[in-house]
Structures are given as C-alpha cells and as structure tokens.
Amino acid sequence: MRGACACAVVCALVAVCGALDADTRAAAERHLLALMGLDRRPSPRAAPRPPVPRAMRLLYEGAAAAHSLPRAAANTARSFTHQPSHLDHRFPNEHRFRLYFNLTAVPQDESARGADLVLQRASSDPLRSSSSQRLLLYDVVRPGRRGHSAPLLRLLDSVPLRDGEGPVTADAVGAARRWLAEPNQNHGLLVRVVEDAPTGADVRAPHVRVRRRAGEDERAWRADQPLLLLYTEDTRAREARERGDTPIARMRRAAQRRGHRAHHRRKEVRETCQRRPLFVDFADVGWSDWIVAPQGYDAFYCQGDCPFPLADHLNGTNHAIVQTLVNSVNPAAVPKACCVPTQLSSISMLYMDDVNNVVLKNYQDMAVVGCGCR
Ligand SMILES: *[C@@H]1O[C@H](CO)[C@@H](O)[C@H](O)[C@H]1NC(C)=O
Ligand SMILES: *[C@@H]1O[C@H](CO)[C@@H](O)[C@H](O)[C@H]1NC(C)=O
C-alpha cells in the first residue's frame, strides 16, 4: 500500500481536507488539534475580531522567518491587554498606573520562559522636560488598604527612557511566573515614570503611554495601549527538548512499524521516493475563523519507491540499505524501506484563543524539507 509509508501528520491533514463522513472527519480534526496541543478548537468571541497588535504581527513575521521565537525554549507567545476596572480611577495620572493582565486563560501545562511589558512612546509633548526619565515596573505583591497599610511592591525592572523610536520594553517575567502559579495573587503591575535623577521625582509628561486619555479614540488607543507579551513552553515542547527527541524520530519509528505491517503491496511501476507538493489550506479544514495567519502552508509529503540498490540521493541509512538488500533477495521476509521525511521544518501560527487574546505558536516539524528511505 502506497500510503503505508506516508507520515501521520500529512495523513491527518489530508483526511480532514478530503470528503469524509462526519465521524471520521471529527476524529481526524481531534487528532490534528491534539498534535497542536489543543484539546478542542478555540472559539473566539463573536465578530468583529480585534486587530492583531503590531508587536504580535512583528513577532509572527520574525518567527516565520527564523523558525523560532526570540526566547530560548519558548514555543508560544501570548499577548494580553490591560483589563479596565473600577481601580483605574485611583490612578488618574500618566506617570503612575496599575495595569491588570488576566492570565487565567493560559493552559496549566505552559510555563513562563519570558514576559515583556511593551509600551508605546507618547508623541512629542512640548511640556516634556529635556531631562531623561526612568520607568520603574513593580509587581504588586499585596495591594495597599486605604488608611491601613501601604502596598507591598517588588521592583521587576528599571528602564531608562530617552528620546527615540520604537516601543519601550520592561521585563515582567517574575510577576508572570507568580500569577501563573497563584492566579488569585495577581494584583497587577504598577508602572511609574520618574525623573532619572537622584530626586526620583514624578515626571509631569511621561515618554510612554500607560493609560487611555479622557475622550481618546478607541482605535487610536488600541494601537498605543500597553501589551504584555508572555513567552511560554508547553509540556509537549518541554518533554521533547528534555528527551532530546525530535518528533521526526518518533515519526520514523511509527512509519517503520506501519511499513512492516504493510504486507500486500501493489505491483506497479513506481516513481522513486521524493518530496511532493501538498498545500494545506486552513479554509478547507474549516479553521479560518480562529487561525489569523497563515491562511495555509506548504506541508509537502514523501512518496515513492525505495528500490534496490538504494541510490545515494535517497538519503538511506545503512540499515535501510541492508533492509532493501534483504528484500531484494527474499521479498516475503521483510518489506522494502519506507519513503519518509528525513528533514522537517517548523511553521508559526497566529490564532485567537477563547477570550480573544492573540496567541503565536511555533510548531515543530510541520513541513517536509527532505525525504529519504528508512
Ligand atoms: C479573568 O478571565 C476569566 C475568563 O478567562 C474570568 O472568568 C475572570 O473573572 C477574570 N478575572 C478577573 C479578575 O477579571
Ligand atoms: C535528501 O535530503 C536532502 C536534504 O534534506 C534533500 O535536499 C533531498 O531532496 C532528499 N532526497 C529526496 C529524494 O528527497
């Protein structure tokens, strides 16, 4: 059987795309979602879908080009915006504001590998003094009680603010780790902007935007609002990294097992093992409502014969050469070697979770680079 050697990923995708009965289709979809570390398809809240923050879009483009995220070991990036509440009125100024990011939608199996608070610069303001400023970022470990106790703050980062282009980033990983471990101990982050001088006085007109101004247009604010970028590693990625095991090794073993089971092979003139085109269109799979980008991707697949004697360009292992040799002498004893992916590359996907937070995931081994006989 030709299909016997094809890899499981591609089979699942093709199965979802193909005309199948509802049950088989649902099973194939579940299988594919599990592969992506999701227990069900996300159902983002009703349209209109909020725009993807610029920082996430840039991260996606960078990840798609580099096949990785800019944090060691992270395979996921999630973005969060401040959740407004009645507490916002206690912080009427631009130089001292509490930001609350609700991380409860982050799956339990993800651990934080990094967290950046990304702040946009305020447009030039004539009031701004020429002296430089400093941004102080605190984790609110315990909120203050009016007239009773001062808040307990832990300094997370201190970033000098100078005139310049581009957003300002502060490290918030200490707080993010704590919130993931104890969600009910999340009291937000406190952002302060002070003079970068021994006095450390509050500034009148800060360099960065932390809160929405009265009457500010919703769209304009959306582009300028602070963003928390959380980088995480999920269990699958961590286990694979710790084992030093790559999904390709698992796939190769699975393909070999399937190969051994495939006794009745069709006799036909076959093309030799090679990579063949396969474009997976997420619209065909019915996933275009939650996958923001890409719309689809070139997955490729491997198919073809592994004839005796095994040519060099078929990327065979010594074992495959021996197996092919034994097969040529006694086809009943062992099957031929299998045409399988020998080199794979990752893809990055941008999607919306159930609460409309934008998520970027890097999925290992999703596209075939090279095929071979194994
Ligand atoms: C955080 O979001 C969840 C839904 O994901 C919601 O149930 C919860 O009430 C939110 N927490 C706060 C403090 O707003
Ligand atoms: C063997 O592997 C190389 C590199 O991965 C690839 O360029 C080549 O196309 C592969 N051979 C076949 C038959 O796919």
Domain residues for 212? Answer: 54-236
Nearest CA residue ID for atom 6, ligand 2: 370
pLDDT along the chain (374 residues), means of 10: 44 52 80 81 76 90 84 90 92 92 93 95 64 90 90 95 86 96 96 86 84 86 93 88 64 53 45 91 83 91 90 89 91 91 91 88 90 93
The domain tally of the chain equals 2
- Is there a single domain that holds both residue 194 and residue 59? yes
The three-state secondary structure class of 322 is: helix
Tell me, yes or no, whether 27 and 58 share the same domain: no
Q: Dump the DSSP string for 184-232.
A: GG---EEEEEEESSTT-PBPSS-SB--SPPTT--HHHHHHHS-EEEEEE
Q: Does residue 29 lie in a domain region?
A: yes
- Does the CB atom of residue 303 touch ligand 2 within 6 A? no
3-state secondary structure of 52: coil
How confident is the model at residue 120, as a pLDDT?
A: 93
Q: Does ligand 1 come within 6 angstroms of the Cβ of 102?
A: yes
* CA gap 372, 374 in Å, rounded: 6
Whether residue 311 has its Cβ less than 6 Å from ligand 2? no
- Which of the ligands is closest to the CA of residue 339? 2
Q: The domain that contains 66 carries what CATH number?
A: 2.60.120
Q: Which atom of ligand 2 is nearest to the CA of 275?
A: 14
- Tell me how far apart the alpha carbons of residues 228 and 115 are, in angstroms, rounded to a whole number: 7
Record the tokens describing residue 291, joined without a space.
């996958």
342 Cβ closer than 6 Å to some ligand 2 atom: yes
Whether 105 lines ligand 1, by a CB cut-off of 6 Å, is yes
In a domain, 262, yes or no: no
pTM above 0.85, yes or no: no
pLDDT computed for residue 19 by the predictor:
57
Asked if residue 316 has its Cβ within 6 Å of ligand 2, the reply is no
Same domain, residue pair 96 and 189:
yes
Q: Is residue 153 part of a domain?
A: yes
Cα–Cα dist 364/236, whole Å = 10
CA of 364 to the centre of ligand 2 (A): 19
Q: What per-residue confidence (pLDDT) applies to 2? A: 40
Nearest atom, ligand 2, residue 371 CA = 14
Cα(107) to centroid of ligand 1, in Å? 14
Task: Report pLDDT for 4.
Answer: 46
Is the C-beta atom of 355 inside 6 A of ligand 1? yes
The CATH number given to whatever domain includes residue 295 is 2.10.90.10
Mutate to test the pocket of ligand 2, among 313, 314, 317, 339 (most ligand atoms within 8 A of CB): 313
